[in-house]
Amino acid sequence: MSGSGARGPKGNNLKQLTAAGSSRSATVPATMGYSIGTLQYVVTVSLGTPGVPQTVELDTGSDVSWVQCRPCSAPACYSQKDPLFDPSRSSTYSAVPCAAEACLELGIFREGCSSSQCRYVVSYGDGSNTTGVYGSDTLTLTPGTTSSDNAVDTFLFGCGYAQTGLFAGIDGLLALGRQSMSLKSQASNAYGGVFSYCLPPKETSTGYLKLGGPSSASGFATTGLLTAWTAPTFYMVMLTGISVGGQQVGGVPTSVFAGGTVVDTGTVITRLPPTAYAALRSTFRAAMAPYGYPSAPAMGILDTCYDFSRYGVVTLPTVALTFSGGATMSLEAPGILSSGCLAFAPNDGDGVAAILGNVQQRSFAVRFDGTSVGFMPGAC
Protein backbone atom coordinates (compact mmCIF):
# COMPACT_ATOMS: atom_id res chain seq x y z
CA MET A 1 0.00 0.00 0.00
CA SER A 2 1.22 3.52 -0.72
CA GLY A 3 2.43 5.69 2.12
CA SER A 4 -0.51 8.07 1.73
CA GLY A 5 -3.31 5.59 1.25
CA ALA A 6 -6.27 4.82 3.48
CA ARG A 7 -7.35 1.26 4.13
CA GLY A 8 -10.86 2.08 5.43
CA PRO A 9 -13.77 0.68 3.38
CA LYS A 10 -16.14 2.87 1.40
CA GLY A 11 -19.28 3.28 3.47
CA ASN A 12 -21.04 1.02 5.93
CA ASN A 13 -24.55 0.81 7.31
CA LEU A 14 -24.57 -2.23 9.58
CA LYS A 15 -25.60 -2.56 13.19
CA GLN A 16 -23.15 -2.45 16.08
CA LEU A 17 -22.98 -5.10 18.79
CA THR A 18 -22.96 -4.20 22.46
CA ALA A 19 -19.91 -5.65 24.18
CA ALA A 20 -20.18 -7.71 27.34
CA GLY A 21 -17.77 -7.29 30.23
CA SER A 22 -14.82 -9.62 30.71
CA SER A 23 -11.43 -9.67 32.45
CA ARG A 24 -9.88 -12.03 29.91
CA SER A 25 -7.12 -10.64 27.68
CA ALA A 26 -4.72 -11.65 24.92
CA THR A 27 -1.70 -9.74 23.64
CA VAL A 28 -0.07 -10.10 20.23
CA PRO A 29 3.25 -8.46 19.19
CA ALA A 30 2.86 -5.78 16.50
CA THR A 31 5.59 -4.57 14.15
CA MET A 32 6.13 -2.32 11.15
CA GLY A 33 5.68 -4.20 7.89
CA TYR A 34 8.67 -2.64 6.10
CA SER A 35 10.48 -5.97 5.77
CA ILE A 36 7.58 -7.46 3.78
CA GLY A 37 7.06 -4.38 1.62
CA THR A 38 4.26 -2.47 3.37
CA LEU A 39 4.08 0.75 5.39
CA GLN A 40 1.27 -0.74 7.49
CA TYR A 41 1.53 -2.38 10.91
CA VAL A 42 1.17 -6.15 11.16
CA VAL A 43 0.63 -8.97 13.65
CA THR A 44 1.09 -12.71 13.18
CA VAL A 45 -1.88 -14.86 14.19
CA SER A 46 -2.79 -18.47 13.51
CA LEU A 47 -5.77 -19.62 11.47
CA GLY A 48 -7.34 -23.07 11.20
CA THR A 49 -6.73 -26.51 12.69
CA PRO A 50 -3.87 -27.27 12.61
CA GLY A 51 -3.01 -23.60 12.91
CA VAL A 52 -1.28 -21.83 10.03
CA PRO A 53 0.62 -18.56 10.76
CA GLN A 54 -0.80 -15.56 8.93
CA THR A 55 0.79 -12.11 8.93
CA VAL A 56 -2.06 -9.60 8.74
CA GLU A 57 -2.42 -5.84 8.70
CA LEU A 58 -4.03 -4.14 11.71
CA ASP A 59 -6.91 -1.97 10.54
CA THR A 60 -9.22 -0.05 12.85
CA GLY A 61 -10.89 1.47 9.78
CA SER A 62 -12.61 -1.65 8.40
CA ASP A 63 -14.88 -4.46 9.56
CA VAL A 64 -14.25 -7.55 7.40
CA SER A 65 -11.10 -9.57 8.14
CA TRP A 66 -9.68 -11.69 5.32
CA VAL A 67 -6.70 -13.71 4.13
CA GLN A 68 -5.68 -14.90 0.68
CA CYS A 69 -6.72 -18.53 0.16
CA ARG A 70 -5.75 -21.46 -2.01
CA PRO A 71 -6.30 -22.25 -4.78
CA CYS A 72 -5.23 -18.87 -6.14
CA SER A 73 -2.40 -17.66 -8.35
CA ALA A 74 -1.17 -14.37 -9.77
CA PRO A 75 -2.57 -11.97 -10.73
CA ALA A 76 -5.69 -12.84 -8.71
CA CYS A 77 -3.52 -13.22 -5.61
CA TYR A 78 -0.42 -11.10 -5.00
CA SER A 79 2.87 -12.23 -3.46
CA GLN A 80 2.70 -12.48 0.34
CA LYS A 81 4.93 -13.31 3.30
CA ASP A 82 3.54 -16.75 4.21
CA PRO A 83 2.02 -19.62 2.22
CA LEU A 84 -1.59 -19.07 1.20
CA PHE A 85 -4.17 -20.35 3.68
CA ASP A 86 -5.67 -23.62 2.44
CA PRO A 87 -9.19 -24.07 3.88
CA SER A 88 -9.31 -27.69 2.66
CA ARG A 89 -6.50 -28.56 5.11
CA SER A 90 -8.28 -27.15 8.18
CA SER A 91 -10.61 -29.51 10.06
CA THR A 92 -12.47 -26.55 11.59
CA TYR A 93 -13.09 -24.47 8.47
CA SER A 94 -16.55 -24.09 7.00
CA ALA A 95 -17.99 -21.79 4.37
CA VAL A 96 -20.88 -19.61 5.53
CA PRO A 97 -24.18 -20.69 3.87
CA CYS A 98 -26.00 -18.02 1.89
CA ALA A 99 -29.04 -18.15 4.18
CA ALA A 100 -27.04 -17.78 7.38
CA GLU A 101 -27.46 -14.68 9.52
CA ALA A 102 -23.72 -14.00 9.27
CA CYS A 103 -24.04 -13.73 5.49
CA LEU A 104 -27.01 -11.37 5.70
CA GLU A 105 -25.17 -9.19 8.23
CA LEU A 106 -22.45 -8.49 5.67
CA GLY A 107 -24.83 -5.96 4.14
CA ILE A 108 -22.97 -3.91 1.55
CA PHE A 109 -20.05 -6.34 1.79
CA ARG A 110 -22.19 -9.27 0.59
CA GLU A 111 -21.68 -10.29 -3.02
CA GLY A 112 -24.35 -12.90 -3.58
CA CYS A 113 -23.82 -16.64 -3.58
CA SER A 114 -21.79 -19.28 -5.35
CA SER A 115 -22.58 -23.00 -4.88
CA SER A 116 -24.72 -22.02 -1.85
CA GLN A 117 -21.68 -20.34 -0.26
CA CYS A 118 -21.80 -16.72 0.90
CA ARG A 119 -19.51 -14.38 -1.02
CA TYR A 120 -18.01 -11.14 0.28
CA VAL A 121 -16.43 -8.09 -1.36
CA VAL A 122 -14.66 -5.12 0.22
CA SER A 123 -13.53 -2.00 -1.67
CA TYR A 124 -11.14 0.32 0.14
CA GLY A 125 -10.60 4.07 -0.03
CA ASP A 126 -7.29 3.65 -1.90
CA GLY A 127 -8.98 1.68 -4.71
CA SER A 128 -7.89 -1.77 -3.50
CA ASN A 129 -10.39 -4.62 -3.52
CA THR A 130 -10.78 -8.15 -2.16
CA THR A 131 -13.44 -10.73 -2.92
CA GLY A 132 -14.05 -14.41 -2.23
CA VAL A 133 -15.95 -16.80 0.04
CA TYR A 134 -17.06 -15.82 3.53
CA GLY A 135 -16.10 -18.56 5.99
CA SER A 136 -15.37 -19.38 9.61
CA ASP A 137 -12.49 -21.08 11.39
CA THR A 138 -10.50 -20.99 14.61
CA LEU A 139 -8.39 -17.86 15.07
CA THR A 140 -5.52 -18.22 17.53
CA LEU A 141 -4.16 -14.84 18.56
CA THR A 142 -0.81 -16.11 19.80
CA PRO A 143 0.56 -18.81 17.46
CA GLY A 144 2.28 -21.71 19.19
CA THR A 145 0.01 -21.64 22.25
CA THR A 146 -2.88 -23.94 23.05
CA SER A 147 -4.68 -21.88 25.72
CA SER A 148 -8.35 -21.31 24.96
CA ASP A 149 -7.88 -17.75 26.27
CA ASN A 150 -6.03 -16.98 23.05
CA ALA A 151 -8.53 -18.53 20.62
CA VAL A 152 -11.64 -17.18 18.90
CA ASP A 153 -13.73 -20.13 17.74
CA THR A 154 -15.83 -19.89 14.55
CA PHE A 155 -14.13 -16.64 13.63
CA LEU A 156 -15.80 -15.14 10.55
CA PHE A 157 -13.47 -13.93 7.81
CA GLY A 158 -13.14 -13.65 4.06
CA CYS A 159 -11.26 -16.32 2.12
CA GLY A 160 -9.90 -14.10 -0.64
CA TYR A 161 -9.63 -15.52 -4.13
CA ALA A 162 -9.18 -12.24 -6.05
CA GLN A 163 -7.38 -9.13 -4.82
CA THR A 164 -6.51 -5.95 -6.74
CA GLY A 165 -4.83 -2.69 -5.87
CA LEU A 166 -2.05 -1.68 -3.49
CA PHE A 167 -1.73 -4.72 -1.25
CA ALA A 168 1.86 -5.85 -0.64
CA GLY A 169 3.45 -8.54 1.48
CA ILE A 170 0.62 -9.02 3.98
CA ASP A 171 -1.29 -12.33 4.06
CA GLY A 172 -4.51 -10.43 4.70
CA LEU A 173 -6.14 -7.97 7.06
CA LEU A 174 -7.38 -8.08 10.66
CA ALA A 175 -10.34 -5.72 10.91
CA LEU A 176 -10.95 -3.97 14.24
CA GLY A 177 -13.82 -1.66 13.24
CA ARG A 178 -17.05 -1.08 15.17
CA GLN A 179 -19.45 -3.32 13.25
CA SER A 180 -20.64 -6.86 13.99
CA MET A 181 -18.22 -8.75 11.72
CA SER A 182 -14.99 -7.16 13.03
CA LEU A 183 -12.62 -9.04 15.35
CA LYS A 184 -13.40 -6.55 18.11
CA SER A 185 -17.11 -7.33 17.91
CA GLN A 186 -16.80 -11.08 17.35
CA ALA A 187 -14.54 -11.38 20.39
CA SER A 188 -16.51 -8.98 22.61
CA ASN A 189 -18.06 -11.68 24.78
CA ALA A 190 -14.62 -13.08 25.55
CA TYR A 191 -12.66 -9.86 25.89
CA GLY A 192 -15.30 -7.32 26.88
CA GLY A 193 -15.15 -5.14 23.79
CA VAL A 194 -12.05 -3.30 25.06
CA PHE A 195 -8.89 -3.33 22.98
CA SER A 196 -5.69 -1.34 22.74
CA TYR A 197 -2.51 -1.26 20.73
CA CYS A 198 0.86 0.42 20.52
CA LEU A 199 2.45 0.96 17.11
CA PRO A 200 6.24 0.92 17.48
CA PRO A 201 8.15 3.98 16.19
CA LYS A 202 10.96 1.98 14.58
CA GLU A 203 11.25 -1.04 12.33
CA THR A 204 13.50 -2.65 14.92
CA SER A 205 11.09 -2.18 17.84
CA THR A 206 7.97 -4.11 18.81
CA GLY A 207 4.55 -2.95 19.92
CA TYR A 208 1.38 -4.87 20.60
CA LEU A 209 -2.30 -5.46 19.98
CA LYS A 210 -4.22 -6.32 23.15
CA LEU A 211 -7.78 -7.58 23.30
CA GLY A 212 -9.45 -7.13 26.69
CA GLY A 213 -7.72 -6.02 29.84
CA PRO A 214 -8.66 -3.70 32.72
CA SER A 215 -11.93 -1.84 32.26
CA SER A 216 -10.40 1.32 33.71
CA ALA A 217 -8.82 3.94 31.44
CA SER A 218 -6.51 5.07 34.25
CA GLY A 219 -3.34 6.65 32.87
CA PHE A 220 -4.92 7.48 29.49
CA ALA A 221 -5.92 10.93 28.26
CA THR A 222 -9.41 10.17 26.96
CA THR A 223 -11.78 11.80 24.51
CA GLY A 224 -15.38 10.85 23.79
CA LEU A 225 -16.21 8.49 20.95
CA LEU A 226 -18.70 10.04 18.53
CA THR A 227 -21.57 7.88 17.31
CA ALA A 228 -23.92 10.07 15.27
CA TRP A 229 -22.23 9.47 11.94
CA THR A 230 -23.22 7.89 8.63
CA ALA A 231 -20.15 5.62 8.64
CA PRO A 232 -20.47 3.58 11.85
CA THR A 233 -17.42 1.48 11.01
CA PHE A 234 -15.15 4.27 12.14
CA TYR A 235 -13.87 5.36 15.55
CA MET A 236 -14.66 9.07 15.35
CA VAL A 237 -13.36 11.67 17.80
CA MET A 238 -13.35 15.47 17.69
CA LEU A 239 -10.06 17.25 17.02
CA THR A 240 -10.26 20.75 18.47
CA GLY A 241 -6.82 22.28 18.01
CA ILE A 242 -3.17 21.95 17.03
CA SER A 243 -0.14 23.56 18.62
CA VAL A 244 3.46 23.99 17.47
CA GLY A 245 6.21 24.85 19.92
CA GLY A 246 3.63 25.15 22.67
CA GLN A 247 1.64 27.82 20.81
CA GLN A 248 -1.83 27.24 19.39
CA VAL A 249 -1.97 27.29 15.59
CA GLY A 250 -4.17 30.27 14.77
CA GLY A 251 -6.60 31.06 11.99
CA VAL A 252 -8.51 27.78 12.18
CA PRO A 253 -12.26 28.21 12.91
CA THR A 254 -13.89 25.47 14.96
CA SER A 255 -16.15 24.63 12.01
CA VAL A 256 -13.12 23.35 10.09
CA PHE A 257 -13.03 20.28 12.38
CA ALA A 258 -16.82 19.72 12.35
CA GLY A 259 -16.50 16.50 10.32
CA GLY A 260 -14.74 14.76 13.19
CA THR A 261 -11.53 12.72 13.06
CA VAL A 262 -11.21 9.00 12.30
CA VAL A 263 -8.64 7.08 14.37
CA ASP A 264 -7.32 4.74 11.69
CA THR A 265 -4.32 2.42 11.84
CA GLY A 266 -4.86 1.61 8.15
CA THR A 267 -4.01 5.15 7.01
CA VAL A 268 -0.35 6.10 7.14
CA ILE A 269 -0.25 9.92 6.97
CA THR A 270 -2.66 12.07 9.00
CA ARG A 271 -5.10 14.05 6.84
CA LEU A 272 -6.31 17.45 8.05
CA PRO A 273 -8.91 19.83 6.64
CA PRO A 274 -7.13 22.16 4.17
CA THR A 275 -7.44 25.28 6.35
CA ALA A 276 -6.02 23.46 9.35
CA TYR A 277 -3.23 21.90 7.31
CA ALA A 278 -2.24 25.21 5.73
CA ALA A 279 -2.07 26.85 9.16
CA LEU A 280 -0.03 23.97 10.61
CA ARG A 281 2.35 23.99 7.64
CA SER A 282 2.92 27.75 7.88
CA THR A 283 3.47 27.66 11.64
CA PHE A 284 5.76 24.63 11.44
CA ARG A 285 7.89 26.17 8.67
CA ALA A 286 8.27 29.37 10.70
CA ALA A 287 9.29 27.39 13.79
CA MET A 288 11.86 25.42 11.76
CA ALA A 289 13.38 28.49 10.08
CA PRO A 290 15.73 29.49 12.95
CA TYR A 291 17.43 26.09 12.79
CA GLY A 292 18.56 26.73 9.21
CA TYR A 293 17.89 23.26 7.81
CA PRO A 294 17.93 23.29 3.99
CA SER A 295 14.67 22.44 2.29
CA ALA A 296 14.24 19.32 0.17
CA PRO A 297 11.89 18.46 -2.71
CA ALA A 298 8.35 17.40 -1.92
CA MET A 299 7.64 13.68 -1.64
CA GLY A 300 4.24 12.86 -3.08
CA ILE A 301 1.59 14.45 -0.87
CA LEU A 302 4.24 15.62 1.63
CA ASP A 303 5.18 19.18 0.68
CA THR A 304 7.26 20.41 3.65
CA CYS A 305 10.55 18.51 3.50
CA TYR A 306 14.07 19.08 4.80
CA ASP A 307 17.54 17.78 4.06
CA PHE A 308 19.05 16.58 7.34
CA SER A 309 21.91 14.62 5.75
CA ARG A 310 24.60 16.90 7.22
CA TYR A 311 23.23 16.84 10.73
CA GLY A 312 23.88 14.24 13.41
CA VAL A 313 21.24 15.68 15.73
CA VAL A 314 18.05 17.35 14.54
CA THR A 315 15.99 19.72 16.68
CA LEU A 316 12.25 19.95 16.04
CA PRO A 317 9.50 22.13 17.47
CA THR A 318 6.91 20.21 19.45
CA VAL A 319 3.62 19.40 17.74
CA ALA A 320 0.52 18.51 19.75
CA LEU A 321 -3.03 17.53 18.81
CA THR A 322 -5.86 18.34 21.21
CA PHE A 323 -9.25 16.60 21.22
CA SER A 324 -12.57 17.31 22.88
CA GLY A 325 -12.37 17.04 26.65
CA GLY A 326 -8.76 18.25 26.56
CA ALA A 327 -7.04 14.97 25.64
CA THR A 328 -3.73 15.90 24.03
CA MET A 329 -1.23 13.91 21.99
CA SER A 330 2.21 15.52 22.25
CA LEU A 331 3.97 13.92 19.30
CA GLU A 332 7.50 12.56 19.38
CA ALA A 333 9.80 13.07 16.38
CA PRO A 334 8.67 9.84 14.61
CA GLY A 335 5.13 11.23 14.69
CA ILE A 336 6.09 14.62 13.27
CA LEU A 337 8.34 13.74 10.34
CA SER A 338 8.33 10.94 7.78
CA SER A 339 11.38 10.64 5.52
CA GLY A 340 12.34 14.18 6.49
CA CYS A 341 8.93 15.64 5.65
CA LEU A 342 6.15 17.01 7.81
CA ALA A 343 3.92 13.94 8.11
CA PHE A 344 0.58 15.63 7.52
CA ALA A 345 -1.42 16.29 4.35
CA PRO A 346 -4.72 18.00 3.46
CA ASN A 347 -7.96 16.08 2.99
CA ASP A 348 -10.78 16.88 0.57
CA GLY A 349 -12.21 19.93 2.31
CA ASP A 350 -12.96 21.85 5.49
CA GLY A 351 -15.68 20.11 7.47
CA VAL A 352 -14.74 16.74 5.93
CA ALA A 353 -13.62 14.07 8.40
CA ALA A 354 -9.93 14.24 9.25
CA ILE A 355 -7.93 11.02 9.70
CA LEU A 356 -5.45 10.34 12.51
CA GLY A 357 -2.97 8.10 10.69
CA ASN A 358 -0.59 5.52 12.07
CA VAL A 359 2.50 7.76 11.87
CA GLN A 360 1.05 10.12 14.47
CA GLN A 361 -0.06 7.20 16.66
CA ARG A 362 3.43 5.72 16.90
CA SER A 363 4.64 4.93 20.44
CA PHE A 364 1.24 5.79 21.98
CA ALA A 365 -0.95 3.21 23.66
CA VAL A 366 -4.34 3.80 22.04
CA ARG A 367 -7.31 2.32 23.90
CA PHE A 368 -10.93 1.81 22.79
CA ASP A 369 -13.77 0.83 25.14
CA GLY A 370 -16.93 1.63 23.18
CA THR A 371 -17.47 5.10 24.66
CA SER A 372 -14.04 6.74 24.51
CA VAL A 373 -10.62 6.64 22.93
CA GLY A 374 -7.58 7.05 25.16
CA PHE A 375 -3.97 7.97 24.46
CA MET A 376 -0.90 7.23 26.59
CA PRO A 377 2.58 8.25 25.36
CA GLY A 378 5.75 6.17 25.47
CA ALA A 379 4.06 2.77 25.60
CA CYS A 380 6.34 0.96 23.11
Catalytic residues: 59, 264
Q: Distance between CA 288 and CA 306 in Å, rounded?
A: 10
Three-state SS string over the chain comes to: CCCCCCCCECCCCCCCCCCCCCCCEEEEEEEECHHHCCCCEEEEEEECCCCEEEEEEEECCCCCCEEEECCCCCCCCCCECCCCECHHHCCCCEECECCCHHHHCCHHHEEEEECCEEEEEEEECCCCEEEEEEEEEEEECCCCCCCHHHEEEEEEEEEEEEEECCCCECCEEEECCCCCCCHHHHCHHHHCCCEEEECCCCCCCCEEEEEECCCCCCCCEEEECECCCCCCCCCEECEEEEEECCEECCCCCHHHHCCCEEECCCCCCEEECHHHHHHHHHHHHHHHHHHCCCEECCECCECCEECCCCCCCCCCCCEEEEEHHHCEEEECHHHCEECCEECEEECCCCCCCEEECHHHHCCCEEEECCCEEEEECCCC
What is the four-CA torsion angle of 218, 219, 221, 224, rounded to 10 degrees?
-20
